């Protein structure tokens, strides 16, 4: 098999995986939304975006992360486009980008997997806060430090715990199954 054909097949596989992760990002909130008290706190859209970055690489994770909340807002009205989906688009783009880039650059060990996940989650939340601050300034509103802590940390604790438990298990299993394409 020629090198060009092999690369083309890998790109098609990445595109199919990215489409699957995008579809999951659109559908998972319906499942967790059945439990209104904790549904949104689980941050279900974050899971497929992080997985996409880890398994497909940073460009695909970035693209899926940016598109998912905007598309979900257009299709289903949730999250509301402004400021929610716009800020989430940047947050999730950073999740997908950082998780994919660091997974490729760092050793493929369990501690480095957790390190990558934590860095991606922190970077995404910081970007979310910056974008929310900018959007609040543009709309004449306010976005305080307390609002940032509440949105990025306090209300997100169940999702943070879920992601720290679930994502590494899934990444390890999918990599062992040979489904990661973030090595080339």
Q: Are 94 and 65 in contact (CB under 8 A)?
A: yes
With a cut of 80, say whether residue 94 has pLDDT above it: yes
Range of the structural domain that residue 108 is part of: 3-176
pTM: 0.93
Average pLDDT along the chain: 92
32 occurs within a structural domain: yes
184 occurs within a structural domain: no
182 occurs within a structural domain: no
183 occurs within a structural domain: no
Range with the lowest mean pLDDT among 59-73, 83-97, 141-155, 157-171?
Answer: 141-155
55 occurs within a structural domain: yes
The pLDDT-based confidence of 184 (bands split at 50, 70, 90) is: low
With a cut of 70, say whether residue 2 has pLDDT above it: yes
Res 6: pLDDT: 78
Residue range 108-126: average pLDDT?
97
CATH number at residue 89: 1.10.1760.20
Closest CA to 125 of 161, 163, 87, 180: 87
Res 47: pLDDT: 97
135 occurs within a structural domain: yes
Q: How far apart are CA 90 and CA 129, in angstroms?
A: 10
172 occurs within a structural domain: yes
Q: Is 34 helix (H, G, I), strand (E, B) or coil?
A: coil
Q: How do residues 123-181 score in pLDDT, each as one tens digit?
A: 999 999 999 998 998 888 888 888 888 888 888 899 999 999 999 999 999 999 988 88
Share of the chain above pLDDT 90, in %: 66
With a cut of 70, say whether residue 10 has pLDDT above it: yes
181 occurs within a structural domain: no
Residue range 65-70: average pLDDT?
98
Residue showing tokens 């992080």 = 50
Closest CA to 148 of 103, 65, 83: 83
Res 5: pLDDT: 81
Residue range 51-75: average pLDDT?
97
Quickly count: other Cβ atoms within 10 Å of residue 105's Cβ.
Answer: 10
With a cut of 70, say whether residue 36 has pLDDT above it: no
Number of domains in the chain: 1
């Amino acid at each position: 098999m020629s090198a060009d054909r092999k690369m083309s097949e890998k790109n098609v596989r990445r595109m199919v995986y990215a489409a699957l992760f995008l579809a999951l990002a659109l559908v998972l909130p319906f499942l967790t939304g059945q439990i209104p008290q904790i549904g949104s706190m689980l941050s279900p859209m974050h899971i497929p975006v992080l997985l996409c970055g880890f398994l497909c690489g940073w460009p695909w994770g970035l693209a899926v992360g940016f598109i998912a909340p905007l598309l979900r807002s257009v299709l289903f009205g949730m999250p509301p486009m402004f400021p929610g989906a716009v800020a989430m688009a940047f947050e999730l783009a950073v999740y997908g980008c950082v998780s994919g880039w660091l997974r490729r650059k760092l050793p493929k060990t369990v501690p480095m997997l957790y390190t990558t996940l934590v860095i991606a989650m922190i970077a995404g939340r910081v970007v979310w806060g910056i974008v929310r601050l900018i959007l609040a300034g543009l709309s004449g509103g306010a976005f305080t430090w307390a609002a940032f802590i509440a949105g990025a940390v306090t209300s997100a604790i169940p999702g943070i715990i879920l992601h720290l438990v679930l994502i590494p298990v899934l990444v390890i299993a999918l990599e062992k199954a040979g489904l990661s394409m973030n090595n080339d």
